[in-house]
Structure 1
Amino acid sequence: MLCRTASDLYWAARHIERAENTARLADVTLRIALLPERYDRGKKEAAPWRRALDALGLADAVRQRYGRIDSETVLRHLLLSPENPSSIYNCLHAARECARAQRVAITAEMYEDLNTSWLEMRGRTWSRLHDDGVSNLLEWVKGRSASFRGVTIGTLGRGEGYHFLQLGAFVERADWAIRLLDIAGSEGEAEAREQDAVDYFRWSALLQSLSAFETYRRLYRESVSAAGVVDLMLLQESNPRSLLTCTATAHEVLQTLAGGEALEVVRQAGALSAQARYARIDEILERGLEAWLQDAMARLTRLGEAIHREFMVSTDVASPTVAIARQWGAEQ
């Protein structure tokens, strides 16, 4: 397969997965913003939105562009901004452009699905979004991502093109398994008698935004807790969005693409998968969750760079996809 084809298919999948997870991030932040945290009036609404931007490395960009951080500016930037290369607007556009460039490598149904998503997204405005409700757009984005995933599984042959699409989706999803844990982290100081209720709501909001609340209930008998949610999002193979599931799948795909060769990129993927497979939640929390996540993110970033070096076109080639890839890496 040509390097350009591999790159476009890989990034088409990453863009769609990024759009969906950005919608999930906005959803969980909207839920957490309802919590009666003890902030002064000027910071009360901004605090959860600032935390969401911090997880993406976008706080300075939003502050410089809009002059403030609140629900409206963050939603505009994450959902509709043409100036933000990782907004949902630009992700759907980039995915469609990648697919258009590789129409011979995918099925007609796949391209039509992405084209439909982009054409519908292109007509969205802030006033329309405000009238229709932000939640409706977020559910629409998640539905369009699921639609593309279903069409791909149902129509595309299991050749190299399919494998690069899978690789892109699971590498991006692994990235967000780490990022989304930051959103539900503790905020501020609450009275001891209030903290249990606040934590329960915060972690429950994250589970609901990830469509994982029922999975949690089936796996854990105790009440929703930080330890349980972290375990589910990082170490549970039964969770399709866990770091373990994503890294294990990426490793399997890379082994297939390597065709038996002992490639460094396969070794890196295997090491990251093993880190998630053999970790213990009590050891992670004892060491410090933030340190563990930072190490996992650094390994994942290096894996993404190794994938690009091994299979993709040179980053010197000027293209919208490469520009977005560079910015996302810089934000990490």
Structure 2
Amino acid sequence: MLSRTADNLYWMARYMERAESVARILDVSHRMSQLPGGQEAAREWLPALIISEQLEDFERTYDAVSAGHVIAYMGLDPANPSSIHSTLKAARENARAERNILPTEVFETLNTTWLEMRDIQYARLVEWGFREFFEWVKERSQLFTGIVAGTMLTNEAYHFTRLGTAIERADNTARLLDVKYHGLVPDDEAATDEAADYYQWGALLRAISAFKAYRMTYREAIKPRQVVDLLVLRRSFPRSLHACYAEIHPTLETLRPGSECARLSGEQYARLRYSRPQDITRRGLHRFLTDFLNRNAALSEEIARTFLFVPGG
């Protein structure tokens, strides 16, 4: 397969997953702001900018952090390359470049999503409802993922598409969990306000579509260590870091066996496969997640070198 084709498919999937990621990050902040005794606006919405690494650019445009400003910037701003608006457009453009090899349904899904997205202005978003907008983005991304699984041949094109989704999803899950470090929840289970702690963890689980999975797996009150187990180590949950690397590593071994990117992914996969929740909490969740994000970024760079991708798609 031509490097340019592989690059387009890989980034098509990454951009679509990134749009969903931004929607989930905003959803966490929005849910937190609706909790009893919600904190001041800056405290509720600042973590969304920090964990998505958009704070510096945001401050060049806005002089204050608020729900409206953050949602407008991360959701609708065409000048922000990481906004939902920009990533849905980029996903569609990458797909358009490969229409000759993509199933019609895949391109039509991305094209329709972008055509609907480009007409959404802030006034309409307020009328529609923030939560409804976030759910729409997640549903369009999940529709894309399902159509890819149901219509694409299991060939190199499919593998590069799935690789892009899994790399981006792993990054997303780690960043959502890192909300904990940036002030939305206490740093240990002995929270001074246990009710607030419970609702905050619940809001995080709901935003990542993991609340029912948690209930079915643990069948008890929400505990931080078990949230870490579910979202980091439990392979049976499809958005966990372990589940992502259980797909990333075999895919890279299929595409380029014995390569440096296959080796790096194997190291990360083994680390996730054999770690225990207490190992992570003992080390510190933020430290673990920072290390994971750095390793995930290094793997992404090695994938680009191995397959001669253009950085950033």
| Native 8 Å contact 2:167 2:300 kept in 1 | yes
- Is 1:171 the counterpart of 2:164 in the alignment? no
- Is 1:161 the counterpart of 2:157 in the alignment? yes
Task: Give, in whole Å, the separation in 2 of the partners of 1:201 and 1:314.
Answer: 42
Letter matched to residue 241 of structure 1: R
Question: What is the 5 A alignment of 1:188-267?
Answer: 195-258=193-256, 261-267=257-263
Report the alpha carbon displacement of residue 36 of structure 1 after superposing the two structures with TM.
4.7
What secondary structure is seen at the aligned counterpart in 2 of 1:272? helix
Letter matched to residue 17 of structure 1: E
| Native 8 Å contact 2:185 2:201 kept in 1 | no
Question: What is the 5 A alignment of 1:270-289?
Answer: 270-289=266-285
Report the alpha carbon displacement of residue 308 of structure 1 after superposing the two structures with TM.
0.5
Indicate the RMSD between aligned Cα atoms, in angstroms.
1.8
Aligned in 2, Cα 1:223/1:293: closer, same or farther, shift over 3 Å?
Answer: same
Flag structure 1 segments of 5+ consecutive residues without an equivalent.
316-320, 323-332
Report the alpha carbon displacement of residue 60 of structure 1 after superposing the two structures with TM.
2.0
| Native 8 Å contact 2:74 2:84 kept in 1 | yes
What secondary structure is seen at the aligned counterpart in 2 of 1:84? coil
Task: Give, in whole Å, the separation in 2 of the partners of 1:128 and 1:103.
Answer: 31
Task: Give, in whole Å, the separation in 2 of the partners of 1:291 and 1:184.
Answer: 12
| Native 8 Å contact 1:109 1:151 kept in 2 | yes
* Identical amino acids, percent of aligned pairs: 42
- Is 1:34 the counterpart of 2:34 in the alignment? yes
What secondary structure is seen at the aligned counterpart in 2 of 1:308? helix
| Native 8 Å contact 1:48 1:183 kept in 2 | no
Aligned in 2, Cα 1:272/1:194: closer, same or farther, shift over 3 Å?
Answer: same
Report the alpha carbon displacement of residue 108 of structure 1 after superposing the two structures with TM.
1.1
Aligned in 2, Cα 1:189/1:285: closer, same or farther, shift over 3 Å?
Answer: closer
Number of equivalent positions: 310
- Is 1:8 the counterpart of 2:4 in the alignment? no
Report the alpha carbon displacement of residue 222 of structure 1 after superposing the two structures with TM.
2.7
Q: Deviations over 1:148-203 (max 9, x none)?
A: 1111111111110000000000000000111001224444889x885211110011
- Is 1:20 the counterpart of 2:20 in the alignment? yes
Task: Give, in whole Å, the separation in 2 of the partners of 1:142 and 1:212.
Answer: 14
Aligned in 2, Cα 1:64/1:252: closer, same or farther, shift over 3 Å?
Answer: same
Task: Give, in whole Å, the separation in 1 of the partners of 2:186 and 2:56.
Answer: 25
Report the alpha carbon displacement of residue 229 of structure 1 after superposing the two structures with TM.
0.9
Indicate which of 118, 124, 134 corresponds to 2:114.
Answer: 118
Letter matched to residue 5 of structure 1: T
Task: Give, in whole Å, the separation in 1 of the partners of 2:147 and 2:186.
Answer: 46
Letter matched to residue 150 of structure 1: G
| Native 8 Å contact 1:24 1:138 kept in 2 | yes
Question: What is the 5 A alignment of 1:133-144?
Answer: 133-144=129-140
Task: Give, in whole Å, the separation in 2 of the partners of 1:313 and 1:131.
Answer: 41
- Is 1:98 the counterpart of 2:98 in the alignment? no
Question: What is the 5 A alignment of 1:71-86?
Answer: 71-86=67-82
What secondary structure is seen at the aligned counterpart in 2 of 1:105? coil
Task: Give, in whole Å, the separation in 1 of the partners of 2:37 and 2:277.
Answer: 28
Letter matched to residue 18 of structure 1: R
Letter matched to residue 203 of structure 1: W
What secondary structure is seen at the aligned counterpart in 1 of 2:64? coil
Task: Give, in whole Å, the separation in 2 of the partners of 1:184 and 1:69.
Answer: 19
- Is 1:50 the counterpart of 2:57 in the alignment? no
Q: Deviations over 1:192-223 (max 9, x none)?
A: 88521111001100111111111101111331
Which position in structure 2 is the counterpart of 1:327?
A: none
| Native 8 Å contact 1:38 1:188 kept in 2 | no
Q: Moved runs in structure 1, 4+ residues, more than 6 A?
A: none
Report the alpha carbon displacement of residue 38 of structure 1 after superposing the two structures with TM.
7.9
Report the alpha carbon displacement of residue 225 of structure 1 after superposing the two structures with TM.
1.5
What secondary structure is seen at the aligned counterpart in 2 of 1:27? helix
Which position in structure 1 is the counterpart of 2:57?
A: 61
Letter matched to residue 58 of structure 2: V
Flag structure 2 segments of 5+ consecutive residues without an equivalent.
none
- Is 1:309 the counterpart of 2:305 in the alignment? yes
- TM-score between the two structures when normalised by the length of structure 1: 0.89
| Native 8 Å contact 2:41 2:67 kept in 1 | yes
Task: Give, in whole Å, the separation in 1 of the partners of 2:310 and 2:30.
Answer: 39
